[in-house]
């Protein structure tokens, strides 16, 4: 059994990593080559790898936003100093690869779909929970240097039929949820926000904040350690095993004996980690790229007058924003498997998307491109859940590409559950039911390929 050394250099970044194929996210792997890691400064000091058998009260597996905020709230609210255990470097997964769009959302369903699924009362309470989550996220972003770009979220319709849909949803948000969204007509969009050549109109949501993902993650990390949590990197948990009085977590450097365990491994969860999550999440690749900084003339030609976060109405949506240094970051879906992730056609899809929106930027240099795995649940909503009331093991997973803001609340909720402190929203379905399985789990990727073709045809139809 090899024991990782604190000072050992990271092993290469693995661009082909695929959670459904490889057993575990590796050990001590380099960060993905993101713009965020290039501009965040060095990763903060941590507590090094696990080098011997240790006993802890609470172990949190995974040091992304969810795991780190769980550690922050456990320490800050309940005085519980957890050990966070990370396979690679701090926030190595989605939390240093995302688009940085903090929205008033969690999962992939609209508020109308919540009503259809759970009825109006539960949908209204879900809205309160998600909005409280946005405030939890905002409170933390005010304490961390993470370059917040506040001002809301602009939802741009790329076809008239999509505009009709988001306008109808805006009415539901305003009238039922009392969430004051606003329709932005095309001329106002062009004069006051951005000249996206595909746009036919937009809806402006008042809540939405863009952040620098790695600076936020590193800030969470520092905060968790200041409150007394320990963060052990280069320590993949290979397996979780129950034993009387707690759990044994096997890592290459030693076994962690924990009274309670919180799992925050996102889409990077390995098949063999624990049976409670097997087949219950779908890792989906998302691509992102960042252009060189735009000149004043280019900014003017593209009509950029806003830096708020923007998404379009495709099912395979594009999300973009103007960064503080005048680069454009844009992302969308990617390959189906890790083996295909580096194929140039997936980056080309993003470049084509940028050109369609801003034809005057055709040929602009792309300085950064990367991808990462998003944790999508089979019913499109996350869960913060204790699978067995007799066993103090919890998970928070399934944010579906909308986890930048809600992961902070998920970390907080998981901390409350771990500490045994009930909260009023705890009877909501995202806390009372497990992530659902999938009846055809082995064939999901075949289904995904077919769905991508169908969505693409529908998204691009005139
Ligand atoms: C390209 C991309 C763009 C995105 N854009 C947005 C966006 O704009 N807005 C938005 O809201 N969301 C976005 N997301 C999603 C968002 O990033 C995530 O929802 C959020 O970061 C979730 O964080 P997490 O802590 O749950 O998981 P992660 O950040 O993925 O952290 C999980 C960690 O667990 C570790 N781990 C896994 N297994 C083990 C193990 N066995 N032992 C120890 N450690 C382990 C991993 O190494 C990883 O560091 C995007 C995601 C991607 C990939």
Q: Looking at the CA of residue 402, tell me the nearest atom of ligand 1.
A: 11
Least confident among 352-356, 421-425, 440-444 = 440-444
- Taking 90 as the threshold, does the pLDDT of residue 433 lie above it? yes
Q: Tell me the average pLDDT across 161-172.
A: 98
Q: Tell me the average pLDDT across 378-392.
A: 96
CA–CA dist 390, 186 (Å, integer): 56
Q: Looking at the CA of residue 251, tell me the nearest atom of ligand 1.
A: 42
CA–CA dist 87, 265 (Å, integer): 10
Q: Tell me the average pLDDT across 421-433.
A: 98
Tally the residues of the chain.
Answer: 462
Residue 253 and residue 233 in contact, taking contact as beta carbons nearer than 8 Å: no
Q: Looking at the CA of residue 88, tell me the nearest atom of ligand 1.
A: 47
Q: Tell me the average pLDDT across 417-443.
A: 93
pLDDT number for residue 1 = 34
Is the shortest distance between the CB of 251 and ligand 1 below 6 Å? no
Using 50, 70 and 90 to split pLDDT, how confident is the model at 8? low
Higher pLDDT, 21 or 412: 412
Q: Looking at the CA of residue 334, tell me the nearest atom of ligand 1.
A: 1
- Asked, for residue 398, whether it belongs to a domain, the answer is no
- Asked, for residue 60, whether it belongs to a domain, the answer is no
The 10 Å Cβ neighbour count of residue 326 is 16
- Asked, for residue 415, whether it belongs to a domain, the answer is no
Give the residue, out of 401, 408, 409, with the most ligand 1 atoms within 8 A of its beta carbon, to mutate for a pocket test: 401
Angle (deg, nearest 10), helices 406-418 and 120-141: 100
Is the shortest distance between the CB of 126 and ligand 1 below 6 Å? no
User: What's the whole-model pTM score?
Assistant: 0.96
Q: Looking at the CA of residue 26, tell me the nearest atom of ligand 1.
A: 47
CA–CA dist 359, 197 (Å, integer): 8
- Asked, for residue 340, whether it belongs to a domain, the answer is yes
CA–CA dist 333, 456 (Å, integer): 11
- Asked, for residue 293, whether it belongs to a domain, the answer is yes
Distance 253 CA to ligand 1 centre (A): 24
Question: Quick one: what percent of the chain has pLDDT higher than 70?
Answer: 98
C-alpha dihedral, 23 to 24 to 30 to 34, nearest 10°: 100
Is the shortest distance between the CB of 140 and ligand 1 below 6 Å? no
pLDDT number for residue 136 = 98
Is the shortest distance between the CB of 266 and ligand 1 below 6 Å? yes
- Whose alpha carbon is nearest atom 48 of ligand 1? 93
Is the shortest distance between the CB of 246 and ligand 1 below 6 Å? no
By three-state DSSP, how is residue 77 classified?
helix
Q: Tell me the average pLDDT across 285-289.
A: 96
pLDDT number for residue 363 = 96
pLDDT number for residue 5 = 44
Using 50, 70 and 90 to split pLDDT, how confident is the model at 442? confident
pLDDT digits (tens, 9 = 90+) for 250-265: 999 999 999 999 999 9
Q: What is the DSSP letter of 89?
A: S
Q: Tell me the average pLDDT across 329-357.
A: 95
Give the residue, out of 212, 266, 347, 377, with the most ligand 1 atoms within 8 A of its beta carbon, to mutate for a pocket test: 266
Distance 413 CA to ligand 1 centre (A): 17
pLDDT number for residue 3 = 40
Pairing of strands 182-184, 201-205: antiparallel
Q: In this structure, what CATH number is given to the domain that contains residue 174?
A: 3.30.9.10
pLDDT digits (tens, 9 = 90+) for 193-235: 999 999 999 999 999 999 999 999 999 999 999 999 999 999 9
- Asked, for residue 301, whether it belongs to a domain, the answer is yes
Distance 397 CA to ligand 1 centre (A): 9
Using 50, 70 and 90 to split pLDDT, how confident is the model at 426? very high
Distance 141 CA to ligand 1 centre (A): 18
Q: How many domains does the chain contain in total?
A: 1
Give the residue, out of 271, 403, 405, 414, with the most ligand 1 atoms within 8 A of its beta carbon, to mutate for a pocket test: 403
Least confident among 288-297, 301-310, 435-444 = 435-444
User: What is the residue-averaged pLDDT of the chain?
Assistant: 95
pLDDT number for residue 440 = 76
Is the shortest distance between the CB of 59 and ligand 1 below 6 Å? no
Distance 64 CA to ligand 1 centre (A): 6
Distance 32 CA to ligand 1 centre (A): 12
Give the residue, out of 34, 252, 404, 408, with the most ligand 1 atoms within 8 A of its beta carbon, to mutate for a pocket test: 404
Distance 96 CA to ligand 1 centre (A): 8
- Whose alpha carbon is nearest atom 9 of ligand 1? 101
Using 50, 70 and 90 to split pLDDT, how confident is the model at 446? confident
Distance 95 CA to ligand 1 centre (A): 5
- Asked, for residue 213, whether it belongs to a domain, the answer is no
- Buried b / exposed e over 261-284, threshold 16 CB at 10 Å, is bbbbbbbbbbeebbebbebbbbbb
- Asked, for residue 76, whether it belongs to a domain, the answer is no
Structural domain boundaries, residue 332: 150-208+283-376
């Amino acid at each position: 059994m090899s024991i990782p050394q604190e000072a050992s250099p990271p092993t290469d970044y693995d661009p082909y990593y695929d959670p459904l194929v490889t057993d575990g996210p590796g050990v001590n792997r380099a960060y993905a080559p993101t713009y965020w890691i290039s501009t965040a400064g060095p990763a903060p000091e941590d507590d090094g790898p696990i080098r011997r058998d240790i006993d802890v009260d609470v172990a949190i597996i995974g040091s992304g936003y969810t795991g780190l905020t769980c550690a922050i709230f456990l320490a800050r609210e309940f005085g519980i100093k957890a050990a966070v255990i990370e396979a690679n470097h701090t926030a190595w997964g989605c939390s240093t690869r995302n688009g940085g769009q903090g929205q008033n959302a969690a999962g992939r369903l609209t508020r109308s779909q919540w009503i259809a699924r759970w009825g109006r009362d539960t949908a209204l309470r879900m809205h309160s929970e998600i909005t409280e989550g946005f405030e939890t996220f905002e409170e933390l972003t005010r304490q961390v240097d993470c370059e917040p770009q506040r001002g809301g979220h602009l939802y741009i319709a790329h076809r008239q039929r999509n505009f009709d849909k988001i306008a109808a949803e805006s009415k539901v948000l305003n009238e039922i949820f009392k969430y004051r969204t606003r329709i932005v007509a095309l001329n106002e969009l062009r004069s006051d926000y951005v000249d996206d050549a595909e746009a036919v109109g937009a809806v402006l949501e008042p809540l939405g904040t863009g952040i620098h993902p790695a600076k936020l993650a590193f800030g969470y990390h520092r905060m968790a350690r200041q409150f007394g949590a320990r963060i052990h990197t280069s320590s993949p948990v290979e397996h979780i095993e129950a034993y009387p009085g707690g759990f044994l977590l096997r890592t290459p450097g030693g076994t962690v004996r924990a009274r309670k365990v919180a799992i925050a491994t996102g889409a990077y969860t390995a098949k063999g980690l624990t049976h409670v999550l097997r087949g219950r999440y779908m890792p989906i690749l998302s691509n992102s790229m960042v252009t060189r900084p735009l000149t004043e003339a280019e900014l003017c030609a593209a009509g950029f007058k806003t830096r708020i976060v923007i998404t379009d109405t495709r099912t395979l949506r594009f999300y973009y924003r103007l960064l503080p240094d005048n680069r454009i970051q844009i992302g969308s879906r990617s390959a189906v498997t890790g083996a295909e992730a580096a194929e140039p056609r997936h980056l080309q899809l993003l470049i084509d998307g940028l050109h369609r929106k801003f034809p005057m930027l055709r040929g602009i240099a792309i300085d950064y491109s990367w991808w990462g795995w998003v944790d999508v649940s089979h019913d499109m909503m996350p869960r913060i859940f204790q699978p067995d009331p007799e066993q103090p093991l919890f998970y928070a997973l399934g944010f579906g590409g909308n986890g930048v803001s809600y992961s902070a609340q998920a970390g907080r909720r998981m901390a409350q559950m771990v500490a045994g402190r009930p909260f009023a929203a705890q009877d909501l379905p995202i806390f009372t039911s497990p992530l659902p399985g999938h009846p055809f789990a082995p064939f999901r990727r075949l289904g995904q390929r077919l769905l991508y073709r169908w969505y693409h045809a529908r998204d691009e139809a005139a």
